[in-house]
Amino acid sequence: MMSRTRPLLERLGADFEPDTPVEALSLAQRQLVEIAKALSLGAEIVIMDEPTSSLTLTETNRLLGIIAELKAAGVSIIFITHRLNEIEQCADRVVALRDGAVVGTLQRGEIEHDRMIRLMIGRDLKALYTPPAQAVGKEILVSKDLRTATYPDCAVNFSLRRGEIVGLAGLVGSGRSELARTIFGIDQPVGGSVSVEGRPLSIHSPRDAIARGIYLIPEDRKRSGLILEDDITSNISLPNLGQYAVAWLLDRGREEETARQQSGRLNVRAASVSSVVGTLSGGNQQKVVLAKWLAMSPNVMLFDEPTRGIDVGAKSEIYGLIRALSDAGVAVLMISSDMEEVIGVSDRILVMHEGRISGELARDQFSEHQVMLLAVGKTTNSGLPC
């Protein structure tokens, strides 16, 4: 089994051994295991459902190369993805679904970004970037020489300002999620400090961050952001149960009223707030994660891969909600592996490489080339050393 597995992993460029426990792998590495499993069967038809959602640009390009090899060998592939640029690269035909029905087909010569979007959501999509409604405010969160357990020798310095969306780019493994987890109190810092509104933040647990209005939308919403077996109401009230308690007993009516208000505000599509969260689409699940924090008046929102596995229409709604948050004076840090998303949504971009901020880009400096240079460690004068 080991000898048959190793060539498949090598073919995918995996950086782990066949005997590595899956629970020790990152999301991106687990995705590679799923792909290797499909390749091992020698199937005539392979269905890939969001195969690149957790992969880096290099890993994605490698997978697209493997798809081309499989096609040449006569294998048929159904490639399900929300990343339309990948469809443009590899698809011979596009079938678009909306509300459970086929709404159109495009042949190879007809496959274009705007035409796919029009089929998927029934209209043209507005430009991705929406400028802030007002001038960016003062600094609200400042990280000074912050060191995470993953990269203890690298100091991270940056700040977030009110009314600003800061994109945090970098390759998988660059330390972006670890930085967010440390600020939120899941992981303990090994050095440095974080201050909020000029006052030091003592980070010992998420409770400390929540008390100061710092909230995290995690990378893996199903594992870390929701209780899938519970209903919408219980998920939304969970971080702030004391608000709904009288003499230590929960007032279900107050919980449901808040859930209805937040669900309406975010346009959560569900039969009722009693619907089990695990039955909702990815986009609606993400809105429930967001709803539980919006009910608590955030100061700083940390979004880790906010639109992973979400269709293009729901993405547009999430982007609008993020901008509405920043316009309301919230400081937003948005971690994303989607280059189009980082460039299209952010007011300012920070790039991480191996645990440090390798550079910062203002809006007029944005380009995929600049971000990728910084992501692979080609620092400029704005780069900060470890």
Is residue 127 a part of any domain in this protein? no
Give yes or no: residues 65 and 195 share one domain. no
Task: Determine the pLDDT at residue 360.
Answer: 94
Per-residue confidence in pLDDT tens, the chain, 386 aa: 999 999 989 887 788 999 999 999 877 788 788 888 888 888 789 898 888 876 767 778 878 888 888 888 888 999 998 778 889 999 999 999 877 789 899 999 999 888 887 787 675 555 678 889 989 999 999 999 999 999 999 999 999 999 999 999 987 778 999 999 999 999 999 999 999 999 998 888 999 999 999 999 998 888 899 999 999 999 999 998 888 988 889 999 999 999 999 999 888 999 999 999 999 988 899 999 999 998 888 999 999 999 887 777 788 888 999 999 999 999 999 999 888 889 989 999 999 998 999 999 999 999 888 888 898 787 554 444 45
Is residue 248 a part of any domain in this protein? yes
Q: Which residue, 91, 115, 149, sits at the end of a domain?
A: 91
The residue range of the domain holding 39 is 2-91
The count of other CB atoms within 10 Å of the CB of residue 10 is 10
Give yes or no: residues 87 and 171 share one domain. no
Give yes or no: residues 40 and 155 share one domain. no
Is residue 331 a part of any domain in this protein? yes
Give yes or no: residues 81 and 166 share one domain. no
The count of other CB atoms within 10 Å of the CB of residue 244 is 18
Give yes or no: residues 159 and 285 share one domain. yes
Task: Determine the pLDDT at residue 54.
Answer: 66
Give yes or no: residues 64 and 201 share one domain. no
Task: Determine the pLDDT at residue 127.
Answer: 61
Give yes or no: residues 86 and 146 share one domain. no
Give yes or no: residues 147 and 67 share one domain. no
Is residue 149 a part of any domain in this protein? yes
Give yes or no: residues 247 and 305 share one domain. yes
Count of structural domains within the chain? 2
Is residue 82 a part of any domain in this protein? yes
Task: Determine the pLDDT at residue 42.
Answer: 81
Task: Determine the pLDDT at residue 145.
Answer: 95
Bridge partner residues of 161 (DSSP): 139
The count of other CB atoms within 10 Å of the CB of residue 183 is 26
Q: How far apart are alpha carbons 111 and 92 in whole angstroms? A: 9
Is residue 277 a part of any domain in this protein? yes
Task: Determine the pLDDT at residue 386.
Answer: 52
Tell how far CA 138 is from the center of its chain. 26
Q: Tell me: the pLDDT tens digits for 272-302?
A: 999 999 999 888 999 999 999 988 889 999 9
Task: Determine the pLDDT at residue 383.
Answer: 46
Q: Considering only CA atoms, which of 250, 251, 317 is closest in space to residue 290?
A: 317
Give yes or no: residues 315 and 227 share one domain. yes
Task: Determine the pLDDT at residue 52.
Answer: 80
Is residue 211 a part of any domain in this protein? yes
Give yes or no: residues 83 and 158 share one domain. no
Q: Considering only CA atoms, which of 171, 85, 128, 160 is closest in space to residue 345?
A: 128
Task: Determine the pLDDT at residue 381.
Answer: 45
Q: Which residue, 32, 63, 91, sits at the end of a domain?
A: 91
Give yes or no: residues 202 and 282 share one domain. yes
Task: Determine the pLDDT at residue 18.
Answer: 95
Q: Which residue, 91, 121, 147, sits at the end of a domain?
A: 91
Is residue 118 a part of any domain in this protein? no
Residue 144 is part of a domain; what is its CATH number? 3.40.50.300
